[in-house]
Amino acid sequence: MQFLIEPMRSFYIEKYPIESLFSFPITPIIQVCQFERGEFIFKEGSYPDYMFYLVEGKAKLYVTQKNGKVSLLNFLHAPTFMGEIELLNAERYSKGIQTATKVVCLAIPIHACKDKLLKDATFLKYLCIFLSKKQTMFTSRYAQNQAFPLINRLAAFILLSADHDLYKEKHTEVCEYLGVSYRHLLHVLSQLCDANIIEKQSRCYKIRDKERLQELAKEV
């Protein structure tokens, strides 16, 4: 993680203003930080010092199950808060969040304003709406896994997770995320390759026909 200094700090704060989400002046304490691809924003089991507001890039949310298996829960896209649950519940430790691309975040130091945040009706109202939308999204994804063929769900997942038209996700994680077998996933990836929609490269897949991939994803 790298904290950006002036003039880049002011550039991002002006480009992605969040002052309206709060009833007190938040800008003076906001820091701007940048993460490279593959860095951890939160390590699982940690207690965050910052609540982050993702403004550029994508990240992956993980959790370790009781049997030791690590599961991919979701992809996080800008704009979104990270660490808001830990702010509301000090007893709850973080799930793992790892960057899927280069990421820029506005960082709010919790120690500097936690009491104000928890008494701020404007912020808490926004957070309630934000959390309800997040829960609706999880429910919707579960329903989609039951209702749509894998080729449609995989097309949507590739578009969701790709970085500069390169799809690099681990097959085992994708299988669990989409609720399918390893063999079924490979079969559908092969179908997409045969149709020249994607192309297998050494350690990833290259999106060759984004329009056709989007058409498949529209069904979901």
Task: Write the pLDDT tens digit of every residue in 208-220.
Answer: 999 999 999 987 7
Q: Which of 95, 119, 140 is the last residue of a domain?
A: 140
Number of domains in the chain: 2
For residue 87 the two structure tokens come to 């702010």
Return the pLDDT at 181.
93
Reported as a pLDDT band with limits 50, 70 and 90, residue 182 is: very high
ω into 109 cis (within 30 of 0)? no
Task: With beta carbons less than 8 A apart as the criterion, state whether 40 and 97 touch.
Answer: yes
Reported as a pLDDT band with limits 50, 70 and 90, residue 59 is: very high
Average pLDDT over residues 2-6: 96
Q: Tell me: pLDDT of 105 over 90.
A: yes
Both 104 and 165 in a single domain?
no
Average pLDDT over residues 113-133: 93
Q: Which domain holds residue 89?
A: 2-140
Both 135 and 211 in a single domain?
no
Q: Which of 119, 140, 161 is the last residue of a domain?
A: 140
Reported as a pLDDT band with limits 50, 70 and 90, residue 93 is: low
Return the pLDDT at 39.
94
Return the pLDDT at 63.
84
Return the pLDDT at 85.
85
Return the pLDDT at 44.
84
CATH code of 127's domain = 2.60.120.10
